[in-house]
Structure 1
Amino acid sequence: MFRKSKIIATILLAFVISVAGHWMGFDRPNFAQSAIPETAIAANSMQLAPPIDCTLDKDCFILLYPDRDPGPGEVDFACGRQTQDGHKGTDFGIANTDQMNAGVAAIASAPGKVLRVRDGVPDRLITDPKQLEAVQGRECGNGVVIEHGNGWETQYCHLRNGSVVVRPGMEVETGTVLGMVGASGAASFPQVQITARYEGQVVDPFVGPEAGPGCQVSRNPIWTVPLDYTPTGAIDAGFADTPPEMDALWEGGFPQGELSKDIPAIVFWVHTYGVLAGDSYQFKLITPNGQAIVEDTDEITSPSKLWMGYVGRRKNPERTFARGVWRGEYQLTRGGEVLVDLAREIELK
């Protein structure tokens, strides 16, 4: 039996995401979040639909929220830590590049006119800060800027290379497909990032334009549907025949449905976000006859925006693994509350 859990400090992620909100075609040096006069709000109301065609917390997730700390610190609208210093947008992510290549639509969040587009930037997950040099000035990657009238604009970043289907001057409606979720520009995971602005100032859609800085503010969200705050959740889980690394989880390529009984090891892995010190996790690896041959329970000692863990069993040199359906189970618990509860199955033939 072997097991491993890994806390990812996300220093690289922090650096990559903090620069990913640059607007295409020109610099916007004033990124301050400040209150907009209520008279302007009444005259310039805005409603935004989620910019991705998926079911949140099922086949997509929000990994990072706008940073509401006006200083060098970082805090999201719920006074949590799922943001980065200076982060301007909301990052709607998907599990891996397999899902990205299959196609997940990035869609317009409100009616308007397309102002600018960019396409042709390759998809490449940033794993090293040195790779940012290749996308300098194009950190948004492939993207779209839409003007909605009354001083409002939205920008959509990191779309898949070659997928942008709108052009400047086109009129779009809420839900119009702009392109596909991708990993272009300064992206460290497949996503579409949406940034909203009113009169050149960033607006956090979770609190609305009238809110000042910080998280202890009145919330008047401008989403068309309620979006639950999910500071901790599951990104993906699955099986492999060798222990995976974090970069490999984002890339995908893991077996689906079945594996050979002759594999050198059977590994059940989990990829989550927003873990805190003191959280407890439990793994089980269960054979086709219902026996839990690996059980592991432990406590997380350090908080992290990204976390991965796995358990597994190496093959006995004298015999193969049992044929049939193997099952992996995982729970993440905080203060007695189960935050993540999932199971995956795979057949060994």
Structure 2
Amino acid sequence: MPSPTALPRAAALLLLLPSAAAAQETPFRLVLPIDCVLGEECAVQNYVDADPGVEARDYACGPLSYDGHKGTDFRLPTIAQQAEGVEVRAAAAGVVLGLRDEMPDILQGWEGAPELDGRDCGNGVTIGHENGWETQYCHMAQGSIAVAVGQRVAAGDRLGEVGLSGQSQFPHLHFAVRRNDAVVDPFDPEDRVACGAAEQTLWETPPDYLPGGLLDAGFASGVPDYLDLQRGTAEQEVRSDAPLVLWGFVFGGRAGDVMHLVVEGPQGRVVDQEMPLEKTQAQLFRASGRRAPEGGWPIGTYEGQVTLLRDGAPLSERRATLSLEE
């Protein structure tokens, strides 16, 4: 029979076991906070700035960031796509700590853009998670917020839609991750990567790193206006007697890249031009075309292909089709 002191000791040991198990922290994991296909319907325009000084670089040592940037910018190619409604989703389970939903959807620098007064995030949601983790979702569409303060959400739940509010110069979701108020890069949470992918990220399924690419391409009867490219209204009908221009809209262009624009018409190749990029730019476009020949363009189908080349190899490609009818 056990001694009088053995039972309390055994019971004490049993009581300690659940506490030890609870002390083992569950890994914090994230799902994609936006409903789009990266590389096709959206792209990461900016990552967390991994440079400790006044310069800027992303975790892969690329230029997709700017000095002091504290989040990941999931961008849409155009405002037209944003207007169709693209969902923002909770990246992990948690509780809504705060939100804002009254700022207009106007890009900064455009007519009517409001004074920010510290509201750079625009319309957005902040979610608190276990063990000091926090996620923030910025630049959401006015009137789209679908949660309330104090509400518990699961990973993947709809929070609202991508917008243009706050300190925004293109349609995107600024997604920030913090732990105990310190910024964390979900692609490199331990800040140990030297120009490459981390062995451990915060993502359940780590998104591929896209070092740049084509956002959009199309035909027009002249060199398009940059604002029309942003709006998604640059593609135009082309008359048979008008100039025929092929354009491509790029993010993450680097000095030394080449944009190759080709148009094949009913009677052969109409355009074939390589356009080197002289400097690194976050967004840019190039266009190439020809005036209509005497008597107008032949009736039929014109196929356009825009290719972004880096180090001589294709990095990204977009196609466009134009039909000329009598």
* TM bracket (short chain): 0.7 to 0.9
Tell me, yes or no, if the aligned pair for 1:284 and 1:295 is still in contact at 8 Å.
yes
Identity %, equivalent residues: 36
Unaligned runs of 5+ in 1: 1-40
How far residue 171 of structure 1 moved from its aligned partner, in angstroms, is 1.2
**Greater Cα shift, 72-81 or 234-243:** 234-243
Q: Deviations over 1:85-116 (max 9, x none)?
A: 00001000111111111111111101111111
Structure 2 residue 206 is the aligned partner of structure 1 residue 230: no
Q: 2:52 corresponds to which residue?
A: 70
Tell me, yes or no, if the aligned pair for 1:127 and 1:247 is still in contact at 8 Å.
no
Unaligned runs of 5+ in 2: 1-22
* Whole-Å separation in 2 of the counterparts to 1:113 and 1:335: 46
Aligned runs of 1:241-260 on 2, under 5 Å? 241-255=221-235, 259=237
* Whole-Å separation in 1 of the counterparts to 2:241 and 2:79: 24
Q: 2:115 corresponds to which residue?
A: 134
Structure 2 residue 323 is the aligned partner of structure 1 residue 347: yes
Q: Tell me, what secondary structure is at the counterpart of 1:150?
A: helix
Q: Tell me, what secondary structure is at the counterpart of 2:129?
A: strand
How far residue 212 of structure 1 moved from its aligned partner, in angstroms, is 5.5
Q: Tell me, what secondary structure is at the counterpart of 2:229?
A: helix
Tell me, yes or no, if the aligned pair for 1:276 and 1:303 is still in contact at 8 Å.
yes
Greater RCO (Cα-Cα under 8 Å, separation 6 or more): 1
* Whole-Å separation in 2 of the counterparts to 1:174 and 1:346: 42
Larger Rg: 2
* Whole-Å separation in 1 of the counterparts to 2:319 and 2:272: 14
Structure 2 residue 300 is the aligned partner of structure 1 residue 324: yes
Sort the Cα spacing of 1:125 and 1:290 in 2 relative to 1 into closer, same or farther, 3 A.
Answer: farther
Q: 1:292 corresponds to which residue?
A: 269
Give the length in aligned residue pairs. Answer: 303
* Whole-Å separation in 2 of the counterparts to 1:326 and 1:183: 34
* Whole-Å separation in 1 of the counterparts to 2:30 and 2:127: 12
Q: 1:306 corresponds to which residue?
A: 283
Tell me, yes or no, if the aligned pair for 1:159 and 1:181 is still in contact at 8 Å.
yes
**Greater Cα shift, 328-337 or 157-166:** 328-337
Structure 2 residue 134 is the aligned partner of structure 1 residue 153: yes
* Whole-Å separation in 2 of the counterparts to 1:56 and 1:295: 29
Q: 2:4 corresponds to which residue?
A: none
Structure 2 residue 146 is the aligned partner of structure 1 residue 169: no
Calculate the aligned-residue CA RMSD, in Å.
2.4
* Whole-Å separation in 2 of the counterparts to 1:214 and 1:272: 27
Q: Deviations over 1:15-73 (max 9, x none)?
A: xxxxxxxxxxxxxxxxxxxxxxxxxx963631111110011100111110000112211
Which of 100, 106, 109 does residue 124 from structure 1 map onto?
A: 106
Tell me, yes or no, if the aligned pair for 2:259 and 2:286 is still in contact at 8 Å.
no
Tell me, yes or no, if the aligned pair for 1:285 and 1:311 is still in contact at 8 Å.
no
Q: Tell me, what secondary structure is at the counterpart of 1:328?
A: strand
Which of 258, 262, 267 does residue 280 from structure 1 map onto?
A: 258
Q: Which amino acid aligns with 1:285?
A: V
Tell me, yes or no, if the aligned pair for 1:282 and 1:331 is still in contact at 8 Å.
yes
Q: 1:8 corresponds to which residue?
A: none
TM-score using structure 1 length:
0.80
**Greater Cα shift, 85-94 or 306-315:** 306-315
